[in-house]
Amino acid sequence: MAIGSIPSDPVIPAAALLEHWQGHRRLTRRVIEAFPEEQLFSFSVGSMRPFGALAMEMITMAEPMVRGIVTGEWDQMITREARPKKEVLRLWDESTEKINTLWARIPPERFQQTATAFGQYPGLVYELLLYVIDNEVHHRGQGYVYLRALGIEPPPFYERQ
Amino acid sequence: MAIGSIPSDPVIPAAALLEHWQGHRRLTRRVIEAFPEEQLFSFSVGSMRPFGALAMEMITMAEPMVRGIVTGEWDQMITREARPKKEVLRLWDESTEKINTLWARIPPERFQQTATAFGQYPGLVYELLLYVIDNEVHHRGQGYVYLRALGIEPPPFYERQ
């Protein structure tokens, strides 16, 4: 059965995709909170980046991606350097609000149009958004291993409220 | 801006969601392949499950979820126990084909209807599918850490072909 024969009707509502993402973001926020301050930007496994650096990557991708899609202006003004956990959480919460506001300005037809994110990543708008969400889930999965290696129980994966 | 004011127009085509998932599945297959046979069901970090067990979890969730959505019959006939890597890959490839065939039988309107997966997880069909995809990305992120901890370079995250 070729994939080409699958109906191409859109099946996921724009509002649901946002809510799905924000559910993931609530969980990721809890993972950031679960890290001890002194390990957030220092601890890792297998020479990978510490979770604080991954969280800052997410922050520099998430709201800037949605802003770029809405405005055509692509920039990532926040640096990824280490900072106190409460500052990471503050930036996280700020992004959450901005994403909600910007998302309401994406016309439904825009999701299936092309864009070149940050001047270098071409794709359909929904693909670019899914990439940012998947990147968050991927790196958060790393964070779960770091927490376990630190002897800390991570928040439940299925809890998104 | 309340999320309730976001347009509810569906924006991701059914065929694209399948292709998105199969791209992830190609990457996950490469992660399974990257594990040395003798570590697949034994190595882990922080007392978590080894990657072979996570891959078997994915296999028992993926095709059975799509089959349940299409037929209303929910069962997970494959056990999650340890087996040779080539057998995991064979089951993986078998699931890939079955998912493509079954997906073509999901009527577009079905995605926004409710289902109770495996008799215990209620949700909209697209939510249940996203959950299975996210669970795969999450656990594969763990697998990346295991590979790095073993001194093995994981396949690039952005490569989905």
What are the backbone angles phi and psi of residue A142, rounded to the nearest 5°?
A: -60, -45
What pLDDT shows up at residue A89? 98
For residue B147, what are the contacts with CB-CB under 8 A and spacing of at least 6? A46, B31, B34, B35, B153, B154
Query: What digits encode the pLDDT tens for the residues A116-158?
Result: 999 999 999 999 999 999 999 999 999 999 999 999 999 999 9
Q: How far is CA A112 from CA B7, B50, B117, in A?
A: 15, 38, 29
Mean pLDDT over residues B41-50, rounded?
96
Q: For chain B, give the mean pLDDT.
A: 95
Task: Measure CB to CB from residue A11 to each of B47, B48, B108 and give the nearest one.
Answer: B108
What pLDDT shows up at residue A69? 97
Task: Measure CB to CB from residue A141 to each of B1, B127, B138 and give the nearest one.
Answer: B138
Residue B132 has pLDDT above 70, yes or no: yes
Residue B1 has pLDDT above 50, yes or no: no
Any chain B CB within 8 A of the CB of A17? Answer: yes
What pLDDT shows up at residue A1? 44
What pLDDT shows up at residue B4? 56
Any chain B CB within 8 A of the CB of A46? Answer: yes
Gap between the Cα atoms of A22 and A97, Å rounded:
10
Any chain A CB within 8 A of the CB of B145? Answer: yes
Residue A3 has pLDDT above 60, yes or no: no
State ipTM.
0.95
Query: What digits encode the pLDDT tens for the residues A75-115?
Result: 988 899 999 999 999 999 999 999 999 999 999 999 999 99
What pLDDT shows up at residue A42? 98
pTM: 0.96
Gap between the Cα atoms of A44 and A54, Å rounded:
11
Q: Do B48 and A145 touch (CB under 8 A)?
A: yes
Residue B20 has pLDDT above 80, yes or no: yes
What pLDDT shows up at residue A4? 56
Mean pLDDT over residues A65-82, rounded?
94
Please calculate the CA angle B130-B131-B134 and round it to the nearest 5 degrees: 85
Please calculate the CA angle B21-B157-A16 and round it to the nearest 5 degrees: 45
Mean pLDDT over residues B79-108, rounded?
97
User: Count of alpha carbons within 13 Å of A95, Cβ hemisphere only?
Assistant: 27
Any chain A CB within 8 A of the CB of B18? Answer: yes
